[in-house]
């Protein structure tokens, strides 16, 4: 094979961590480690959910050779030059793993590379894209017959997290461990951290043997996370149940993880390991906000309670597209965010990915001015009814996507490269 460039286009934290990561591993398994033959670059485009740490995360992947952050994306589209003046090999493929599906059309034309898109729900620009790897057959059904040869079912990248082991939820419920996933963006953390702490405190009061873990997003440092449990730095703490917590970092020789500790003695272990699938699979349930984390939990078969608090309607400003842009406008963004959030929540739509997959509420989505005591009672009811937990887990396993997508994408991409070099 001739020396080749694989350019991956991606954008937000969910895509970089749950799509790019397994795909670059699969690409190296197929193409090998010889960078003089196959070089993998990641180029990020702007995203309303971005934290600013996506490029740093991608640079940690040993399979990746070059990364460009999102602020330089549009200058590349305009002028064709990267900020670090990357060179490009004659042969290559542009692989889309997040962002606007029109971007690979533009980038592929500029570089003269074949193009491939991973499409979860909809395949766009099929006249100009060379090939698609799609999640399931339903994506193909909406494409004209003349273009369907361009689409291959590869499976669900969200299901390429570590396959869940057989878990005895009844045993876990006797010595329960609960995961807390409040999100990674300030708009979610401002409400999610204090609310989840208040719920955990109420559960702990009734069931002191319960343990709690909080997998820390790779885009978040511990002091910043802890600041959302401090009423002096987060005014919503008192609105969300009034439970405060301090960050505790043990000595290096103790081999303990850091934790958040409340005045009442509740400790929430902070898991910096990423991804934290092994620890998550030891949990009987999770408290989570909406986002890619619901897909990850669903793929792992972990029952969850999805929290959408509305105590501060203008705090949620991470919608996609035009609503996200309007909600983040200076001066009027807060007012617009309240109106947008109120409108969206009144629609009664489903938000959690497992519920969207099934088109029914497998896991509860709690919307409104949530009270910690009420949610804690639901948690306690689940802990006292492991059969119900098992039923939810079984249903999650039924609707999770077909695994193996990363390997299928890598295999399909290799075929595109062969076509490119034979033409």
Q: What integer pLDDT is reported at residue 43 of this predicted model?
A: 97
Q: Indicate if the pLDDT at residue 420 is higher than 80.
A: no
Query: Which residue pairs, CB below 8 angstroms and at least 24 apart, start in 65-68?
Result: 65/35, 65/39, 65/40, 65/41, 66/39, 66/40, 66/41, 66/42, 67/41, 67/42, 67/43, 68/41, 68/42, 68/43, 68/44
What single DSSP character describes residue 266?
A: -
For tokens 């629609």, the residue is: 347
Least confident range of 45-59, 180-194, 243-257, 311-325: 311-325
Predicted TM-score (pTM) of the model is: 0.72
Model confidence at 319, pLDDT cuts 50, 70, 90, reads low
- Contacts (Cβ under 8 Å, ≥6 apart) of 122: 139, 142
CATH of 4-161+403-422, one of 3.50.50.60, 1.10.1060.10, 3.40.50.970, 3.40.50.2000: 3.40.50.2000
Q: Indicate if the pLDDT at residue 223 is higher than 60.
A: yes
Secondary structure (3-state) at 378: helix
Q: What integer pLDDT is reported at residue 340 of this predicted model?
A: 53
Give the residue from 51, 58, 83, 286 showing the smallest Cα distance to 192. 286
Q: What integer pLDDT is reported at residue 142 of this predicted model?
A: 84
- Tell me what the mean pLDDT of segment 369-386 comes to: 94
Q: Within a 13 Å sphere around the CA of 212, how many CA atoms are in the beta-carbon half?
A: 29
Q: What integer pLDDT is reported at residue 314 of this predicted model?
A: 47
Rg (CA), the chain: 22
Most confident by average pLDDT, 169-178, 346-355, 357-366: 357-366
User: pLDDT digits over 89-137, tens only?
Assistant: 999 999 999 989 999 999 999 999 999 999 988 899 989 999 999 988 8
Share of the chain above pLDDT 90, in %: 59
DSSP string, 57-84: HHHT-TT--EEE-GGGHHHHHHHS--TT
Rounded to whole angstroms, the Cα distance separating 319 from 322 reads 8
Tokens representing 111? 């570089």
Q: Indicate if the pLDDT at residue 220 is higher than 50.
A: yes
User: pLDDT digits over 326-357, tens only?
Assistant: 445 565 655 555 565 556 556 567 878 889 87
Rounded to whole angstroms, the Cα distance separating 166 from 157 reads 21
Rounded to whole angstroms, the Cα distance separating 311 from 326 reads 20
> Are 4-161+403-422 and 169-399 equal in CATH topology?
yes
Domain boundaries, the chain: 4-161+403-422, 169-399
Specify the fold of 169-399: Rossmann fold (3.40.50)
- Tell me what the mean pLDDT of segment 303-328 comes to: 64
């Amino acid at each position: 094979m001739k020396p080749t460039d694989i350019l991956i286009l991606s954008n937000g934290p969910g895509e970089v961590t749950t799509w790019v990561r397994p795909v670059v591993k699969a690409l190296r398994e197929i193409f090998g480690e010889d960078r003089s033959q196959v070089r993998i670059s990641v180029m990020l485009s702007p995203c309303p959910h971005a934290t600013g740490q996506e490029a740093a995360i991608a640079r940690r992947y040993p399979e990746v050779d070059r990364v460009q952050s999102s602020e330089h994306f549009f200058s590349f589209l305009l002028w064709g030059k990267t900020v670090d003046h990357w060179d490009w090999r004659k042969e290559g493929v542009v692989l889309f793993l997040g962002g606007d599906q029109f971007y690979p059309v533009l980038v592929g034309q500029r570089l003269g590379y074949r193009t491939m898109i991973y499409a979860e729900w909809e395949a766009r620009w099929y006249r100009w894209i060379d090939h698609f790897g799609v999640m399931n057959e339903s994506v193909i059904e909406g494409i004209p017959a003349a273009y369907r040869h361009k689409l291959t079912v590869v499976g669900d990248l969200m299901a390429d997290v570590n396959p869940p082991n057989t878990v005895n939820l009844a045993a876990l419920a006797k010595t329960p461990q609960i995961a807390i996933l409040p999100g990674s963006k300030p708009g979610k953390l401002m409400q999610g951290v204090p609310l989840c702490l208040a719920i955990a405190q109420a559960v702990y009061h009734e069931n002191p043997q319960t343990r709690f873990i909080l997998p820390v997003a790779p885009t978040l440092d511990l002091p910043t996370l802890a600041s959302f449990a401090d009423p002096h730095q987060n005014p919503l703490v008192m609105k969300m149940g009034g439970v405060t917590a301090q960050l505790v970092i043990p000595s290096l020789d103790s081999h303990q993880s850091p934790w958040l500790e409340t005045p009442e003695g509740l400790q929430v272990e902070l898991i910096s390991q990423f991804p934290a699938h092994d620890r998550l699979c030891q949990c009987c349930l999770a408290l989570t906000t909406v986002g890619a984390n619901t897909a990850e939990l669903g793929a792992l078969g972990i029952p969850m309670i999805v929290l959408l608090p509305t105590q501060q309607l203008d705090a949620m400003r991470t919608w996609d597209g035009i609503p996200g842009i309007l909600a983040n406008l200076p001066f009027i963004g807060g007012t617009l965010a309240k109106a947008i959030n109120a409108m969206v929540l009144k629609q009664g739509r489903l938000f959690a990915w497992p519920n969207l997959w099934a088109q029914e509420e497998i896991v509860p989505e709690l919307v409104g001015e949530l009270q910690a005591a009420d949610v804690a009672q639901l948690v306690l009811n689940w802990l006292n009814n492991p059969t119900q937990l098992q039923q939810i887990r079984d249903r999650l396993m039924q609707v999770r996507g077909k695994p193996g997508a990363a390997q299928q994408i890598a295999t399909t991409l290799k075929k595109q490269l062969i076509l490119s070099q034979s033409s």
